Chain A
Amino acid sequence: MQRDPDSSRKYGLPSFSDIGTLVRLAVVGALALVFVVAFAAAAGWLSPGRLTQDRMIAAFTQVNGPHPGFRRNHAKGVCGTGTFESNGNGEHLSSATVFKSGRMPVVARFAFAGGQPFVTDGPGIVRSLAISFRPPGGEEWRTGMIDIPVFPVRDPHVFYEQLVAGAPDPATGKPDPAKMEAFRAAHPDIARTTGIIKQHPFSSGFGDETYNALNAFRFVSATGAVTPVRWSVVPETPSTPQPQDQGADRGKNYLFDELIAAVGRGPLRWHLVVTLGHRGDPTDDATVPWPDAREHVDVGTVTIDRIEAEAPGNCRDINYDPLVLPAGIEPSDDPLLSARSAAYSESFRLRAGEPKTQSAVQVGAEGGK
């Protein structure tokens, strides 16, 4: 005997003439819709005005044009390898293995800020040094540093506005001065940061330059003590000012070629100097320098003894995401950090899948070691 003779009939098409069934069907649909709406809201599809990774990357493309296969920013660069010799001075500040006394390999990248991989070298372009520290045990630390003393803007949204304001006008092919003027008027603080940046002229080349991680981080010691920090790498090579004949015809890649030649003559060294912040020093504002009186701790020496052109598997294929941090180094509340991490990751995702063109900077036999 079948328990319910009608039991298989209920699995057919529901009766649309029965109001109760219709209501229950509507409830099923409405509940499913809740999840669809939640998904769409999380994706940002319901807030098209929101600043997303896509829009940030699109702004770089608007400024620089499309350059498939290259980083969307800091596009022109060259790889360097060498070592970091930690002197142990940082060990009491951070539990990260990178600060224990000892040597470890580093994979670095020298680059120009900006998204043009074939830009002609010039004395006025911001330079960067990114380093991946590889201590034993696999806990990597990556940092991207630039040779200006403060970041021009505090907030990723303002950074985006600045980027768009400086984008070439499609009609003239040049940035519209009125747009930049409007940006400056809307963000008067830019005059202050530009002033600070102008007080620190660039050095003559990549090898004698100081590079600053402008964002603040937190060092956490083995005992749990937290110190707000910023860090820089300071060259052992005495810094010389820009030569007067700047702008003269010195070759499309002269700054990179000089770096390659310098490393060919002998390793270049930088000291990793950590600045210890005090309570009250801003950690969420990369536009504000900390007082000069803050304690600086030299935690070790970065040695670059080999330069090589970007190629598969070397620095080209590393995302120098500033939030690749070992235990013992934590992000601060600086809003630029998460935005940098996000934009770098999206730039990496895009360029990884694009066809590659040979980088502008190529290295002959003089690349060191």
Chain B
Amino acid sequence: MAPKIVNDVFPPFSRILHWLMAVMILAMLLIGIAMVAALDDYHRLVSIHKPLGMLILVLVAVRLINRLFQPPPPLPAAMPAWQQIIAHASHFALYGLMFALPMVGWGMLSAARYPIVLWGPLQLPPILPHSLPLYTVLRDAHTVLAYLLFLTFLAHFAAAMMHALIYRDGVFQSMASWRGRATRPADPPSGAAS
């Protein structure tokens, strides 16, 4: 029987989305933490933060749809089950936070009755009524979720580096490769012998 062929790298479009969003999200986290302290640069930073957040919201939707049509390559079969579970859970958390942060941001600006200016006359409508208690809950949530995203990002990055430098199992290359979509024979299921 011919070995089943699986893709060992992410599809090019998935890789483009990943790295584009990686840069954007990292910038977003740094801008966010900087702007809540800033005076002189506050306006400059907040003027980037709002439209960039909305762009990330659009891209995460594109990314989820793309993921349905182009599923990621499987993790190496040899990876222990607990590590696979943590990997999947962290990816789930990343998607959840990438979606939740801009939605909470949009909601909190709505509840504070701040106009949500994207660019020039381009504005988003409010999605919640004007309410200070609602604003407070969402504003606090925005901070907590942002810290969680930074911590999840750190874990994701450290795990990627572990795969690249310690495990050296191709997981990092599956996202960090310049190649087109190469293929290799499928790993046999973990523990299987023939």
Contact = CB atoms under 8 A, between A and B. Distances in A.
Nearest to B190: A8
Interface string A1-42: 111100110110010000001001101110110011011001
A343 B167 CA distance: 49
Nearest to B153: A35
Q: How large is the interface on B (under 10, 10 to 19, 20 to 34, 35 or more residues)?
A: 35 or more
B169 A10 contact: yes
B194 interface: yes
A318 interface: yes
Given A44-B37, A352-B139, A32 B165 contact: no
Given A21-B166, A39-B29, A331-B43, A348 B112 contact: yes
Contact of B40 (A317, A339, A349, A352): A339
Given A11-B167, A327-B121, A338-B41, A28 B83 contact: no
A121 interface: no
A330 to B, nearest CB: 10
Contacts of B192: 2
Interface string B24-53: 001001110111111111111010000000
Contacts of A21: 166
Contacts, number: 139
B80 A11 contact: yes
Contacts of A338: 38-44
Given A35-B157, A53-B37, A335-B40, A318 B113 contact: yes
A317 B130 contact: yes
Interface in B1-36: 26, 29-31, 33-36
A278 to B, nearest CB: 25
A42 B35 CA distance: 9
A248 interface: no
B120 interface: yes
Do most interface residues of chain A lie in helix, strand or loop, or is the interface mixed? helix
Contacts of A7: 76, 78, 169
Contacts of A10: 78, 166-169
B125 to A, nearest CB: 7
Interface residues of A, number: 58
A27 B165 contact: yes
A319 to B, nearest CB: 7
A35 B33 CA distance: 13
B34 A11 contact: no
A243 B135 CA distance: 44
A156 B154 contact: no
A21 B165 CA distance: 8
Contact of B34 (A31, A42, A335, A341): A42
A32 B158 contact: yes
Nearest to B147: A39
B154 A35 contact: yes
Nearest to B187: A3
B117 to A, nearest CB: 8
B150 interface: yes
A360 interface: no
Interface string A300-334: 00000000000011000111010110110001000
A337 interface: yes
B78 to A, nearest CB: 4
Contacts of A353: 132, 136, 139-140
A54 interface: yes
Given A10-B169, A11-B83, A28 B162 contact: yes
Most buried by B among A2, A51, A54, A346: A2
A52 B83 CA distance: 42
Contact of B166 (A8, A14, A313, A319): A14
Interface in B107-136: 112-115, 120-121, 123, 125, 130-133, 135-136
B154 A138 contact: no
A342 interface: yes
Interface in B166-185: 166-169
Most buried by B among A28, A29, A140, A331: A28
Interface of B: 26, 29-31, 33-44, 46, 76, 78-80, 83, 112-115, 120-121, 123, 125, 130-133, 135-136, 139-140, 150, 153-154, 157-158, 161-162, 165-169, 187-188, 190, 192-194
Given A31-B157, A342-B43, 10 more contacts: A2-B188, A10-B168, A14-B166, A324-B114, A326-B121, A327-B120, A341-B43, A345-B42, A348-B112, A353-B140
6 contacts: A2-B188, A2-B193, A43-B37, A317-B130, A349-B139, A352-B136
